[in-house]
């Protein structure tokens, strides 16, 4: 089958790799209808995250149709159209039972094969899904494939980040990063009742979308963000910062924007070894700090109905559709934020 594969730093390839097959009775094989290109793929693309085998199919966001199931699969049949979270989960271990599905004892991240072990990704014609019964979810009627794709990752992650921020009546919130995940967080803050939302980025099309979703916008390249936020919060800082970038600069800015007693909620994937604020600063701010991977499978249950209600808004962040064969170019355009690209999907 054809897939977009990892070769080396900033080097991907559209090539033939082996078709996936059932390896375990709980597996399903999905024919991919659409696959997302995510900010998380860029960490691999730029070798901020390393270890991936050359020839690994990239990507962890997809919606597709089941074409084959293992003997033990009970909840799904051939022909079902399904979505998946970006990691697999068993549904019965301790972590699955407390809703932290992303830390399932048997979890695997799609698009991560290292020294021959792991799972190929969804930017391909087909993908193998282990523990299909617990991992997959039927795409509900009336929910578009695009909204379903975002529900499997960006929407769940944005909502999780917003929920972790602890929205209170009258609160003021800053979202750092208006990529697809940040934009989903703005929408989620609205769903959770937040009224005063500031969204920060430097890409005009992304800021414009954040404004459309109900945020006031600030460009960090042309504005003194800290001064602006202090001005609108009587010098205090905001109640919570949602950091959805994953850089040391954004982490630093989060601390500078926060009032004492506030919360930093971050889902940005951090790849550095040290925090960019000190224990002293954290102590002096009575900081609440929430960080980590989103338990997307858990949130998919919670949010399928929201995906239906807000389908048009959610899907509107997908600005670019590419044929799978043009996937390498899609990465370039998404990475460079060319042509107003907020999020790209690949269609096999
Ligand atoms: N925790 C999880 O489960 C999870 C899931 C999905 C994505 N992520 C992570 O979330 C982050 C965002 O993902 P995405 O797909 O939206 O990525 P993206 O690359 O499309 O968007 C990131 C945005 O941040 C902006 N930015 C850069 N530096 C900034 C700064 N200092 N202040 C404000 N904005 C800044 C960029 O201009 C860009 O628009 C990535 O780190 C990704 O890996 C985490
Ligand atoms: Zn993703
Ligand atoms: Zn589990």
Closest C-alpha residue for ligand 1 atom 11: 268
Nearest to 32 by CA among 317, 324, 334, 301: 324
What distance in angstroms lies between residue 281's CA and the mean position of ligand 2's atoms?
31
Q: What is the pLDDT of residue 225?
A: 98
CA distance 123 to 176: 28
Q: What is the pLDDT of residue 144?
A: 98
CB-hemisphere CA count at 13 Å for 235?
0
What separation in angstroms does the CA of 227 have from each of 158, 211, 231, 347? 26, 20, 6, 44
Q: Does domain 2-153+295-347 have CATH number 3.90.180.10?
A: yes
CA-derived radius of gyration, the chain: 20
Q: What is the pLDDT of residue 289?
A: 98
CA distance 290 to 118: 28
Contacts of residue 223, defined as CB under 8 A and 6 or more positions apart, other chains included, come to: none
Residues having CB within 6 Å of any atom of ligand 1:
38-40, 42-43, 153, 157, 176-182, 200-203, 206, 220, 244-247, 249-250, 253, 267-269, 293-294
> For the chain, which residues make up each domain, given as ranges?
2-153+295-347, 158-291
Contacts of residue 201, defined as CB under 8 A and 6 or more positions apart, other chains included, come to: 177, 178, 179, 182, 207, 210, 217, 219, 220
Q: pLDDT in tens for each of the 348 residues of the chain?
A: 999 999 999 999 999 999 999 999 999 999 999 999 999 999 999 999 999 999 999 999 999 999 999 999 999 999 999 999 999 999 999 999 999 999 999 999 999 999 999 999 999 999 999 999 999 999 999 999 999 999 999 999 999 999 999 999 999 999 999 999 999 999 999 999 999 999 999 999 999 999 999 999 999 999 999 999 999 999 999 999 999 999 999 999 999 999 999 999 999 999 999 999 999 999 999 999 999 999 999 999 999 999 999 999 999 999 999 999 999 999 999 999 999 999 999 999
Which of 59, 181, 256, 298, when mutated, tests ligand 1's pocket best, judged by the most ligand atoms within 8 Å of its CB?
A: 181
What separation in angstroms does the CA of 6 have from each of 148, 277, 323? 25, 34, 18
What is the helix, strand, coil percentage profile of the chain, to 5?
Answer: 35, 25, 40
Sort 128 into a burial class: Cβ within 10 Å, 0-12 / 13-18 / 19+. buried
CATH of domain 158-291: 3.40.50.720
């Amino acid at each position: 089958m054809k897939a977009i594969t990892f070769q080396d730093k900033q080097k991907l390839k559209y090539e033939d790799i082996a078709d996936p097959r059932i390896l375990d009775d709980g597996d399903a094989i999905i024919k991919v209808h659409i696959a997302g290109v995510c900010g998380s793929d860029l960490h691999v693309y730029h070798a901020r995250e390393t270890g991936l085998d050359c020839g690994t199919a990239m990507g962890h966001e997809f919606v597709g149709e089941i074409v084959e199931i293992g003997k033990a699969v009970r909840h799904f049949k051939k022909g079902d159209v399904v979505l998946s979270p970006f990691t697999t989960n068993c549904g019965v271990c301790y972590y699955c039972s407390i809703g932290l599905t992303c830390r399932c004892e048997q979890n695997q991240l799609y698009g991560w094969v290292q020294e021959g072990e792991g799972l190929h990704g969804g930017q391909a014609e087909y993908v193998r899904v282990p523990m299909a019964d617990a991992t997959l979810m039927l795409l509900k009627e009336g929910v578009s494939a695009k909204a379903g794709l975002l529900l499997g990752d960006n929407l769940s992650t944005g909502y999780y980040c917003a929920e972790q921020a602890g929205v209170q009546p009258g609160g003021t919130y800053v979202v750092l990063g208006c990529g697809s995940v940040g934009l989903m967080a703005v929408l989620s803050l609205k769903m959770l009742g937040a009224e005063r939302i500031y969204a920060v980025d430097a890409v005009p099309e992304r800021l414009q979308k954040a404004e459309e979703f109900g945020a006031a916008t600030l460009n960090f390249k042309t504005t003194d963000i800290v001064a602006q936020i202090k001005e609108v919060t009587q010098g205090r800082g905001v109640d919570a910062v949602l950091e959805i970038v994953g850089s040391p600069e954004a982490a630093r800015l989060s601390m500078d924007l926060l009032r004492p007693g506030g919360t930093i909620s971050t889902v940005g994937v951090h790849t550095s070894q040290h925090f960019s604020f000190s224990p002293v600063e954290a102590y002096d701010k009575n900081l609440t700090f929430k960080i980590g991977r989103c338990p997307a499978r858990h949130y998919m249950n919670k949010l399928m109905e929201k995906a239906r209600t807000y389908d048009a808004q959610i899907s509107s962040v997908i600005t670019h559709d590419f044929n799978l064969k043009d996937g390498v170019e899609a990465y370039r355009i998404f990475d460079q934020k060319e042509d107003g690209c907020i999020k790209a999907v690949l269609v096999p």
